[in-house]
Amino acid sequence: MGSLFRSEEMALCQLFLQSEAAYACVSELGELGLVQFRDLNPDVNAFQRKFVNEVRRCDEMERKLRYLEKEIKKDGIPMLDTGESPEAPQPREMIDLEATFEKLENELREVNQNAEALKRNFLELTELKHILRKTQVFFDEQEGGVNQTTESMTRALITDEARSAGASMGPVQLGFVAGVILRERLPAFERMLWRACRGNVFLRQAMIETPLEDPTNGDQVHKSVFIIFFQGDQLKTRVKKICEGFRATLYPCPEAPADRREMAMGVMTRIEDLNTVLGQTQDHRHRVLVAAAKNLKNWFVKVRKIKAIYHTLNLFNLDVTQKCLIAECWVPLLDIETIQLALRRGTERSGSSVPPILNRMQTFENPPTYNRTNKFTKAFQALIDAYGVASYREMNPAPYTIITFPFLFAVMFGDLGHGAIMALFGLWMIRKEKGLAAQKTDNEIWNIFFGGRYIIFLMGVFSMYTGLIYNDIFSKSLNIFGSHWHMSYNKSTVLENKYLQLNPKGDYEGDPYPFGMDPIWQVAGANKIIFHNAYKMKISIIFGVIHMIFGVVMSWHNHTYFRNRISMLYEFIPQLVFLLLLFFYMVLLMFIKWIKFAATNAKPYSEACAPSILITFIDMVLFNTPKAPPQDCETYMFFGQHFIQVLFVLVAVGCIPVMLLAKPLLIMQARKQANEEVQPIAGATSDAETGGVSNGGSHGGGGGPHEEEEELSEIFIHQSIHTIEYVLGSVSHTASYLRLWALSLAHAQLAEVLWTMVLSIGLKQEGWLGGIILTCVFAFWAILTVGILVLMEGLSAFLHTLRLHWVEFQSKFYKGQGYAFQPFSFDAIIENGAASAEAE
């Protein structure tokens, strides 16, 4: 698996490939996923590269496949996904794939166009059918009332002058038009007709009950049939323009009833024929899509692999003979033999007789950072990389985070019940991970939960452990070993005295509880929170100081690996001494107080004589004399405490100028000595030596760790900032770990509030009605527990734990100024391509 605690050792290699074998070799490297190629043509436009035509052909094939995919999804046809990844096809197979996709696209577009034309024709016939039916209702009035109806409409449509003029000319003939319009446009259409024609038209309308399908987009639309009566050609022209403006469709409607019936029969016959043709067209389209759906996933994989290969080949250089491709790539040192075997396989596949050449190059550039991960460590490594990718060969915090992250989370989230819910959820995702991983979704929240399933499981398990330590399960305690406290009062005294307290001298057995906290503290009243506060506050400081010391120790591994003797002696040692003499000493005082002072002890070691750790630490830093202790109590906890405390503070303060000045002064002295040693002896020799010194370490294309010498002023400023940050940060970071105590206390109190204010109400009910109330109350309590205490409180604890690792722990040794190793991998390319396709 390579190095677990540092990134892999990387090598910059030069690769020579025969032009005929380049495609097959790059294909094998893509399947392997262990090579990161560099662009050797950074100044060449993307449209001027050698294989740009092949990339365009792949883009065109992808477009056709996306069109097929859209049509398949529109019909709801399932696409076959075997989960297998076919090999990249040979270049000559591109022609066959292009022909297949071209044939499918043309066939499908032709079918769609025919289907759309048929649906449009079907829509027109359907609308005409409804017009003939509805207008028949308009015309078929009661027998003998047609003339009266026509006469009444005539009176409504003509003025007195026209009526008197028409009396000498004979009966007035009315014209009409019929059509359909979208139902939502009908009110505006009616108002426009009234205003434009000044009320000289007569409109009748009826709704079409069944929605009609729009042939363009397949949406369901609601329409209404209308018929407009008018007199004269001028009104006819005006009415048609209004209908055209509102996109109403007009249809011919005969005046004679016999003609309307005959037309209706012809329309029904044509509709039946169209239904038959439409059904056959849809069946043919469905067969084409079903056949395409079986191979669509594999086609996508093949095309994306071809495109990735040609895109990678565009990063290569051609030699002067135009027969060899030259590439530069970063590879893990341990995998060079595996890469060479892959290149040999690619050469054999292509039939080339010239073997590929992989040469290791010397460079001073910073290599990419490559940390090997598996499905378990991947999520923890992602947490570290979210802060910043580690510098090359820098100590990797991820292996330690696997333990410290869920543990610090559990200190804040400690509850056996809530931890069990979280652990079971994580375990369910782990057990079903294959099926859940296959069900790819674009739900970002679910992807985050599933990606961190191992983190969730470990956080749940550790929370169960700390819940047992706190003896806390849904704000209640487990009485596993019985209590070590015994009451010497009778029952009436206990029930009547609300403020009764137990005496440790007589009511406590004296033996520590076997595991965790005594359950008697759960029923304590006034001093329950006081006890938990003192306990959790102290363990928060203890864990925090140990965590920070471990971070400083990790910096020692960085200094020794990079052989930075000055930093190791004048940064690491003063930092560690400063942290140990002040804050670790405070931790030791806590243990001394726990061991030496007890309520059952006689003075001077009784509980009343126990000094405050916080006051003691403040007096120590300020060189204050402690206040006079109570009678028969000692001022100090152990002999020589005052002298030791003064010595520790003086040494810790003395470490500050060492951290601040030692490194810059030593660098300045080393540069001065180097300048004195290199003296010009002769002209040519002087020039040569001076050039050798000024270019020292930068030959071979520098950058990276061999940068130009930093100015002394910048070194002093940088060291001053670093020292001030460390000294002040040691204080603030120690206080920052008190969030472990605060969130743990808040979580416990919220759980107790939910139990007291919600679930206990249901538990107090009796009878069959109480059972119903309890069921409802329990459901409400369970929803609040999962929603607030598990999800919201869990998210809060997660973010606080993340901050403790990023700021308090990793700032002691982790720079995170590297860049990630991004190998040419078909798996990553296909996964990203599928994700982007789903997003579109």
pLDDT tens string 798-824: 999 999 999 999 999 999 999 999 999
Confidence grade of residue 454 (pLDDT, cut at 50, 70, 90): very high
Task: Take residue 816 and report the two structure tokens written for it.
Answer: 């995170």
What b/e readout covers 192-213, taking b as 16+ CB neighbours within 10 angstroms?
ebeeebeebbbbbbbebeeebe
pLDDT of 616-673, one tens digit each? 999 999 988 888 788 778 888 888 899 999 999 999 999 999 999 998 899 888 888 8
- pTM of structure: 0.81
pLDDT for position 836: 61
pLDDT for position 300: 93
Is the Cβ–Cβ distance between 7 and 395 less than 8 Å?
no
pLDDT for position 432: 93
Region for 659 from its dihedrals, namely left if φ exceeds 0, alpha if ψ lies in -120 to 50, beta otherwise? alpha
| Listed range (450-454, 493-497, 637-641, 687-691) with the worst mean pLDDT | 687-691
Is the pLDDT at 682 greater than 50? The verdict is no
515 Cβ contact partners less than 8 Å away, ≥ 6 residues apart: 468, 469, 480, 481
- ω before 399 within 30° of 0 (cis)? no
Higher-pLDDT residue of 420 and 172 is 420
Residue length of the chain: 840
Is the pLDDT at 249 greater than 50? The verdict is yes
DSSP three-state, residue 167: helix
Task: Take residue 248 and report the two structure tokens written for it.
Answer: 């109403």
pLDDT for position 821: 95
pLDDT for position 170: 47
Let me know the angle formed at the C-alpha of 65 by 89 and 36, rounded to the nearest 5 degrees.
Answer: 50
pLDDT of 27-81, one tens digit each? 999 999 999 999 998 888 888 888 999 999 999 999 999 999 999 998 888 888 7
Q: Of the segments 160-174, 199-213, 405-419, which one has the largest average pLDDT value? A: 405-419
Across the range 188-213, mean pLDDT stands at: 88
Let me know the angle formed at the C-alpha of 389 by 384 and 393, rounded to the nearest 5 degrees.
Answer: 105
Query: What number of CA atoms fall less than 13 Å from residue 457's CA on the CB side?
Result: 17
Higher-pLDDT residue of 836 and 136 is 136
Is the pLDDT at 2 greater than 70? The verdict is no
Is the Cβ–Cβ distance between 390 and 369 less than 8 Å?
yes
Query: Residues spanned by CATH 3.30.70.2750 within the chain?
Result: 128-157+173-275
| Share above pLDDT 90 across residues of the chain, in percent, rounded to a whole number | 51
Instruction: Compute how many other C-beta atoms are within 10 angstroms of the C-beta atom of residue 21.
Output: 22
Task: Take residue 429 and report the two structure tokens written for it.
Answer: 């995702």
Confidence grade of residue 162 (pLDDT, cut at 50, 70, 90): very low
Burial of 280 (0-12, 13-18, 19+ CB in 10 A): exposed
Q: Where are the alpha helices (DSSP H) in 75-144?
A: 93-139
Q: Return the CATH class of domain 128-157+173-275.
A: alpha beta
Instruction: Compute how many other C-beta atoms are within 10 angstroms of the C-beta atom of residue 833.
Output: 17
pLDDT for position 393: 92
**Which DSSP letter does residue 709 get?**
P
Confidence grade of residue 8 (pLDDT, cut at 50, 70, 90): very high
Is the pLDDT at 390 greater than 80? The verdict is yes
Task: Take residue 269 and report the two structure tokens written for it.
Answer: 């016959």
pLDDT for position 261: 84
115 Cβ contact partners less than 8 Å away, ≥ 6 residues apart: 278, 281, 282, 285
For the chain, how are helix, strand and coil distributed in percent, rounded to 5? 65, 10, 30
pLDDT for position 650: 96
pLDDT for position 479: 86
465 Cβ contact partners less than 8 Å away, ≥ 6 residues apart: 410, 419
pLDDT for position 143: 35
Is the pLDDT at 688 greater than 50? The verdict is no
pLDDT of 468-497, one tens digit each? 999 999 988 888 888 888 777 777 777 777
Is the Cβ–Cβ distance between 744 and 463 less than 8 Å?
no
pLDDT for position 599: 75
pLDDT for position 549: 96
pLDDT for position 522: 79
pLDDT for position 838: 56
Burial of 40 (0-12, 13-18, 19+ CB in 10 A): middle
Cα–Cα distance measured from residue 620 to residue 641, given in angstroms and rounded to the nearest whole number = 10
Let me know the angle formed at the C-alpha of 476 by 474 and 480, rounded to the nearest 5 degrees.
Answer: 120
Is the Cβ–Cβ distance between 101 and 93 less than 8 Å?
no
Query: What number of CA atoms fall less than 13 Å from residue 324's CA on the CB side?
Result: 13
Query: What number of CA atoms fall less than 13 Å from residue 551's CA on the CB side?
Result: 26
pLDDT for position 811: 92
Confidence grade of residue 600 (pLDDT, cut at 50, 70, 90): confident
Across the range 594-608, mean pLDDT stands at: 78
Cα–Cα distance measured from residue 792 to residue 784, given in angstroms and rounded to the nearest whole number = 10
Closest CA to 30 of 812, 648, 826: 826
Across the range 374-381, mean pLDDT stands at: 93
Cα–Cα distance measured from residue 346 to residue 308, given in angstroms and rounded to the nearest whole number = 16
Cα–Cα distance measured from residue 620 to residue 582, given in angstroms and rounded to the nearest whole number = 9
Instruction: Give 529-537 contacts, CB < 8 A, sequence gap 24+.
Output: 529/745, 532/745, 532/748, 533/741, 533/745, 536/740, 536/741, 536/744, 536/745, 537/738, 537/741
Average pLDDT, the chain: 86
pLDDT of 317-327, one tens digit each? 988 777 889 99
In sequence order, what are the beta bridge partners of 36? Answer: 330
